[in-house]
Amino acid sequence: MRRAFTLIELLVVIAIIAILAAILFPVFAQAKAAAKKTQCLSNSKQIGTSLYLYLNDSDDVLPMANYPAAPIYQGPPFTVFSWHTGAGKAELSWADLMLPYTKSIDIFQCPEDGSGPLLDSAKKAIPGKPLSFALNYYFYRQPGGVARFSLTGGGMSEITAPSGKIFIAETASNSSREIVRPDRYLGFERHLKGSNYVFADTHAKYKLMPQWWKTVASSVWGLPENAQNQQCPQWFPWLDDSGEKW
């Protein structure tokens, strides 16, 4: 006599499979996210190495955030990134200055940056490679009205405790940000509530984002004299405090 599964038995098996799937899918998703975080950290380390090589060739002077925009900058060379008017048209960014050392454009796009391409006013994608990283705002905006935007980030000898000072942070490729600060946190929670940072001494490290950064008004972060009073000395290269308060 042939035996077969009863309807109840089939339903029990299906229920067990559904329960196992509900348990395992989040685990698989978390494992995938962790792998992307690791890949992004590897990219960050390569960018840090390129910064180290750049510093050797520039007398230890950190790169500018970007060249002055058109019509001041006429080019060539032009950027290869989706930046302002785009590859082949817009001025160079800091990432373009790293390319001779990285030998790779793709490492500047985080594998988990799903923000999409930069769009123009007509909602069309601006040509060029995505850029998922930006420089620390406070290397280019400092107390006393010093505006070093588009100029260099200063010499390494000017930085207090470079191993504890952020220089490169993650951002969204569609944000057109070449400099970031704590209130521009589009990429700061990308990897399991944290992101990867390259410090001024060129090492890279993963850090969780402190949620209190979101509670401080943008007007505070935008004024270095006030921003420096927040408990995050890692953002401010002129402070003597070398502790990373995360």
Average pLDDT value for the chain: 89
What is the C-alpha to C-alpha distance for residues 49 and 70, in angstroms, rounded to an integer? 30
The b-or-e profile of 230-244 (16+ CB within 10 A means b, else e) is bebbbbbbbbeeeeb
**Coil, helix or strand at residue 64:** coil
Residue of 188, 178, 198, 74 lying closest to 134 (CA atoms): 178
196, containing H or E segment: strand 194-199
What is the C-alpha to C-alpha distance for residues 169 and 171, in angstroms, rounded to an integer? 7
**Whether the bond into 71 is cis, omega within 30 of 0:** yes
- For residue 147, name the pLDDT band (cuts at 50, 70, 90): low
Ramachandran region of residue 215, left (φ > 0), alpha (ψ -120 to 50) or beta?
alpha
β-pair type (204-208, 194-199): antiparallel
- For residue 17, name the pLDDT band (cuts at 50, 70, 90): confident
Residue 221 has pLDDT above 60, yes or no: yes
The Cα-based distances of 43 to 8, 107, 206 in angstroms read 52, 5, 12
Q: For residue 117, how many other CB atoms are within 10 A of its CB?
A: 16
Residue of 178, 169, 146, 191 lying closest to 44 (CA atoms): 169
Residue 28 has pLDDT above 60, yes or no: no
What is the C-alpha to C-alpha distance for residues 134 and 118, in angstroms, rounded to an integer? 14
Across the range 108-135, mean pLDDT stands at: 93
Residue 185 has pLDDT above 70, yes or no: yes
Q: At what angle do helices 7-57 and 94-102 cross, to 10 degrees?
A: 90
Residue 160 has pLDDT above 60, yes or no: yes
Higher pLDDT, 4 or 183: 183
Order across the sheet with 133-136: list the strands: 179-180, 133-136, 166-170, 194-199, 204-208
Which phi and psi (to 5°) does residue 36 adopt? -70, -35
Quick one: pLDDT at residue 212?
Answer: 96
Residues 6+ apart with CB under 8 A from 11: none
Higher pLDDT, 173 or 151: 173
β-pair type (146-147, 179-180): unpaired
Quick one: pLDDT at residue 112?
Answer: 95
Residue 96 has pLDDT above 70, yes or no: yes
Question: Do 130 and 173 contact (CB within 8 A), yes or no?
Answer: yes
Residue 196 has pLDDT above 70, yes or no: yes
- For residue 162, name the pLDDT band (cuts at 50, 70, 90): very high
Q: pLDDT tens digits for 48-91?
A: 999 999 999 999 999 999 888 777 888 899 999 998 899 999 99
